């Protein structure tokens, strides 16, 4: 096998990435007269100028400047991962997951006493370094906020990481707690804490059972409270919704009704919603019509849901574990994908690689044949949902946060792992590679018994 010569990215502040292949759905305002390949990619020359996209031209037509000839390689905007749990992540091997939701919660809670500020900083930093190396430019992370005392430490760690990584991986936090927390005395202080640290509000909606009459009275009150607190502070809302096979726990309609009566104008994102896929078609259709009326958006985490859902001892799963993704998209509702948990009590694997998440999503949802719009689930859609319309697309004037792949077709890009991708952050090549797991373990005081 002959290896192709490595691409050399100029150190100067102005250069052209010539003959790049960019999926049309990831280009904002493409120039006229651009050739398109059979897989829907545009052939472009991209001018990078002082860390931004200075111009887009039909391939071979850019004027002047030093040139890197991509020879038809794929060039994508950096990814956005809008649903992670950096504070839980990378606790393996001190935590051994059992593959269940119950285990996810209880093993995480057992680990909480070890979450010192240093422990959190090391693990969150590792997660963000992985994301950066894979070409992720922004991350939203849910911050365990069960009690105010716990959450202050978690939020301080997130805030430190947010400052350290700003401009490379922009980070935003979201409260995650049982919805009961929003009915308690600490609710206002928790909302203030999130707001002070640039975060937004969330919670787990299926923790509150229905009342004796079968209605979600307590949940409705908690949702009213969240929307009121978010409205007062100008924050968006991002909820964990119905991550369960239990069809009696179905809170999307309650959230939609609460949103409609609240007058809340911010964005409302619903994560997971997996049991929606198990509902009869009539219920799915009615629920999505209500969701559209209430201007709700969705985010699905296909990889960990394949791991967690429909797991029964000695039995092969019958269900892919994901929400009704194609129905959501067909209803015209925004659907993003996220990485979710990574090497922790909830999910045993992962590397904060949104290309891997996208490849899994396309296969698990069958979001291909045709692929139209599917690529945006990992970039353009989540960028809009976290209010970063400057990310997740390639357009004139936007930051040159880009990923160059060796693949020269979309099929190859989605087939081979693309571990040799080149990441550009504000026009500069990201060097240094991915962080090493054994170094993290050593820093966390986890001794490898083979070498001890």
Beta strands in 28-168 (DSSP E): 41-49, 52-58, 66-69, 75-77, 79-84, 136-144
Kindly indicate which of the ranges 128-136, 335-343, 356-364, 438-446 contains the residues binding Zn ion, using the contact rule CB under 5 A. 335-343
Chain residue at closest Cβ approach to Zn ion: 340
Measured in whole angstroms, the distance separating CA 405 from the mean position of its chain's CA atoms is: 20
Q: How many positions of this chain bind Zn ion (CB under 5 A)?
A: 1
In total, the chain counts a number of residues equal to 452
**Which residues in 165-224 contact Zn ion (CB under 5 A)?**
none
Specify the residue, 135 or 304, whose C-beta has the smaller distance to Zn ion.
304
The nearer residue to Zn ion, 321 or 427, going by C-beta atoms, is 321
Nearest CB to Zn ion, comparing residues 203 and 392: 203
Cα angle, residue 236 at apex, residues 233 and 238 outer, rounded to 5°: 135
Looking at 183-191, 227-235, 332-340, 396-404, which segment touches Zn ion (CB under 5 A)?
Answer: 332-340
Selection from 370, 419, 317, 422 nearest residue 99 by Cα: 317
Smaller CB separation from Zn ion, 143 or 400: 143
In angstroms, give the least distance from the CB of 85 to Zn ion: 6
User: Which residue lies nearer to Zn ion by CB, 169 or 301?
Assistant: 301
CB of 403 to Zn ion, least distance (A): 25
- Within 27-66, the residues that bind Zn ion by CB under 5 A are none
Minimum gap (Å) between residue 204 Cβ and Zn ion: 9
Spatial separation of the C-alpha atoms in residues 31 and 152, rounded to whole Å? 49
Per-residue HEC secondary structure of 275-334 comes to HHHHCCHHHHHHHHHHHHHCCEEEEECHHHHHHHCCCECCECCCCCCCCCHHHHHHCCCC
Say if residue 186 is exposed, middle or buried (CB neighbours under 10 Å; 0-12, 13-18, 19+). middle
Residue 101 vs 148, nearer CB to Zn ion? 101
Smallest distance, Zn ion to C-beta of residue 182, A: 18
Q: Among all chains, which residue has been given the structure tokens 């026009």?
A: 427
Instruction: Kindly tell me which of 273 and 403 has the beta carbon lying closer to Zn ion.
Output: 273
Q: Least distance from C-beta 110 to Zn ion, angstroms?
A: 19
Shortest gap between Cβ of 355 and Zn ion (angstroms)? 20
Residue with tokens 């049982």: 178
Q: How far is CA 87 from CA 126, 146, 174, 223, 229, in A?
A: 11, 13, 12, 25, 24
CB of 6 to Zn ion, least distance (A): 38
Binding pattern to Zn ion, positions 336-365, x when CB under 5 A? ----x-------------------------
What single-letter DSSP state applies at residue 239?
Answer: E
CA distance 212 to 196: 39
Which residues contribute to the site for Zn ion (CB under 5 A)? 340
């Amino acid at each position: 096998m002959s290896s192709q010569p490595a691409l050399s990215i100029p150190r100067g502040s102005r250069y052209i990435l010539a003959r790049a292949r960019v999926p049309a759905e990831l280009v904002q305002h493409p120039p006229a007269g651009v050739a398109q390949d059979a897989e829907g990619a545009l052939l472009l020359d991209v001018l990078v100028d002082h860390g931004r996209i200075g111009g887009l031209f039909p391939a071979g037509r850019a004027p002047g400047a030093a040139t890197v000839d991509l020879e038809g390689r794929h060039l994508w905007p950096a990814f956005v991962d809008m649903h992670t749990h950096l504070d839980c992540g990378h606790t393996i091997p001190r935590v051994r997951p059992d593959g269940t939701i119950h285990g996810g919660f209880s093993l995480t809670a057992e680990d909480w006493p070890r979450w010192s500020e240093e422990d959190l900083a090391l693990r969150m930093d590792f997660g963000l370094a992985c994301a950066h190396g894979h070409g992720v430019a922004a991350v939203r992370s849910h911050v365990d906020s069960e009690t105010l005392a716990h959450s202050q430490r978690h939020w301080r760690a997130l805030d430190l990481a947010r400052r350290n990584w700003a401009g490379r991986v922009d980070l935003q936090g979201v409260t995650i707690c049982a919805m009961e927390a929003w009915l308690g005395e600490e609710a206002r202080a928790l909302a203030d804490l999130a707001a002070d640290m640039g975060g937004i509000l969330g919670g787990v909606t299926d923790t509150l059972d229905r009342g004796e009459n079968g209605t979600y009275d307590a949940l409705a009150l908690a949702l009213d409270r969240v929307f009121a607190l978010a409205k007062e502070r100008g924050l968006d809302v991002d909820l964990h919704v119905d991550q369960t096979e239990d069809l009696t726990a179905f809170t999307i309609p309650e959230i939609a009704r609460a949103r409609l009566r609240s007058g809340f104008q911010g964005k409302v994102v619903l994560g997971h919603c997996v049991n929606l896929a198990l509902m009869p078609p009539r219920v799915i259709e009615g629920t999505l019509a209500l969701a559209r009326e209430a201007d709700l958006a969705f985010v699905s985490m296909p990889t960990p849901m394949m791991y967690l859902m429909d797991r029964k001892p000695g039995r092969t799963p019958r269900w892919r574990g994901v929400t009704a993704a194609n129905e959501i998209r067909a209803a015209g509702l925004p659907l993003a994908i996220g990485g979710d948990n990574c090497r922790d009590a909830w999910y045993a694997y992962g590397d904060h690689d949104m290309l891997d998440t996208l490849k899994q999503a396309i296969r698990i949802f069958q979001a291909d044949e045709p692929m139209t719009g599917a690529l945006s689930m990992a970039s353009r859609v989540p960028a809009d949902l976290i209010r970063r319309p400057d990310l997740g697309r390639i357009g004139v004037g936007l930051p040159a946060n880009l990923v160059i792949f060796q693949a020269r077709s979309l099929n190859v890009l989605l087939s081979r792992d693309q571990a040799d991708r080149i990441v550009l952050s504000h026009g500069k090549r990201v060097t240094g590679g991915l962080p090493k797991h054994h170094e993290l373990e050593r820093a966390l005081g986890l001794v490898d018994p083979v070498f001890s």
